[in-house]
Amino acid sequence: MRCEFIGDAGKTWRDVTCARCGRRVRSPHSTAKVYATCPAWPRWWELGHWAEFALAVLGINQDRWNWIRFRLGFTTPCGCDGKIVKLNESGGWLRDRLDVIGRLFAVCRLGTR
């Protein structure tokens, strides 16, 4: 999981900060070009990162999975990164729906007072 850097725009050197772990980096590049592995926990809706974490606990990382696939006769890599992105998007969809439901309940509670 990568750091999600946010920072100053329009300056020559920028102080960018990770929205997850708070890591600060001084960089001449925009936030889109600064990469770092983030030590923070995934957010609850990032289901792809949680699945990756659960598989890593079992000892299965992308390299090992691709090795197993190769031994089983598959010649192409698994495309794990794309699957992680899709699972994260699914979790984001779920988060948005739960957010709307929570707001509706909050409005209903205000209406009964």
Interacting residue with Zn ion among 20, 47, 48, 52 (CB under 5 A): 20
Helix residue ranges per DSSP H, the chain = 47-57, 62-71, 80-112
Does residue 19 interact with Zn ion by CB under 5 A? no
Tokens 């809706």 label which residue? 45
Stretch that binds Zn ion, among 34-42, 50-58, 59-67, 88-96 (CB under 5 A): 34-42
Among 1, 16, 18, 84, binds Zn ion (CB under 5 A): 18
Q: Measured from the CB of residue 108, what is the shortest distance to Zn ion in angstroms?
A: 38
> Does an H or E element contain 72, and which?
none
DSSP-derived letter for residue 43 is: P
Contact 66, 77 (CB under 8 A): yes
> Is position 21 an interface residue for Zn ion (rule: CB under 5 A)?
yes
14 makes contact with Zn ion (CB under 5 A): no
Alpha-carbon distance of 29 to 13, in angstroms, equals 7
Nearer to Zn ion, 41 or 74 (CB): 41
Q: How, if at all, do strands 24-27 and 5-7 pair?
A: unpaired
Among the listed residues 38, 51, 55, 80, the single contact to Zn ion using CB under 5 A: 38
Instruction: Note the residues at the interface with Zn ion (CB under 5 A).
Output: 3, 18, 20-21, 23, 38
